[in-house]
Structure 1
Amino acid sequence: MSAAKTKAQGIIDDNSVAVFSKSYCPYCKATKALLSEMGAKPYIIELDQVDDGSAIQDALEEITAQRSVPNIFIAQKHIGGNSELQSKKGDLPTLLKDAGAI
């Protein structure tokens, strides 16, 4: 397993909510705003601000078959991107509570 894949998997495994993001991405901003609104404190890694960001993005594609950001995990389960998160808005309080994130 590559170092980037190990790192990505570690972030997913160690955090009740993990968001792989890019600082300039409007969809990432919407995701972070919604999670914050719900009271969650996600682990956020800005892939454009870390040296191994593109390698982590490649690893996430291997893990989830999704290359785009944001790439969101709640309770170690892949949620998808911002559209998927926004569509779960009604279920989010329960999902986050069950994950121990709020």
Structure 2
Amino acid sequence: MSDAAQLKVQQLIDDNAVVVFSKSYCPYCNNSKRLLDSFDAKYASYELNQESDGAALQEALLKITGQRTVPNIFIGKKHIGGNSDFEAVVKSGKDGKKIEELLREAGAI
């Protein structure tokens, strides 16, 4: 894994209120994006399977988050996790905050 990949991942996280590292064919990724759409959230989706550096970025995400699988979701520069983690936030919140509050604080809605 290159330092350039890690810097790029961090830049994407820093530059976007919400970022979903995804693969276009992944049903869990598509579910997470549909959920975000249902809140009219602004988010960046980075399709790792469609980018020339996607494999390196996925390795960088593993180093940064400990998670290799997709989707790999960040809201307000905070790692949420994968689809099941995101669904849990939607259902019951995270650290006492509901999804709308997290999205609003991040500037996504």
TM-score (norm 1): 0.97
Residue 99 of structure 1 pairs with residue 106 of structure 2: yes
CA distance in 2, matches of 1:5, 1:63: 8
- The residue type paired with residue 17 of structure 2 is S
- Long gaps (5+) in structure 2: 92-97
How far off its partner does 1:2 sit? 1.1
Residue 22 of structure 1 pairs with residue 23 of structure 2: yes
Q: Calculate the aligned-residue CA RMSD, in Å.
A: 0.9
Question: Residues 19-70 of structure 1: CA distance to partner in whole angstroms, max 9, x if unpaired?
Answer: 0000000000000000010110211100000000000000000000000000
Identity over aligned pairs, percent = 55
- The residue type paired with residue 83 of structure 1 is S
8 Å Cα contact 2:32/2:86 also seen in 1: yes
Tell me which stretches of 4 or more aligned residues in structure 1 moved more than 4 Å: none
8 Å Cα contact 2:17/2:42 also seen in 1: no
Aligned length: 102
SS at match of 1:51: coil
Residue 10 of structure 1 pairs with residue 17 of structure 2: no
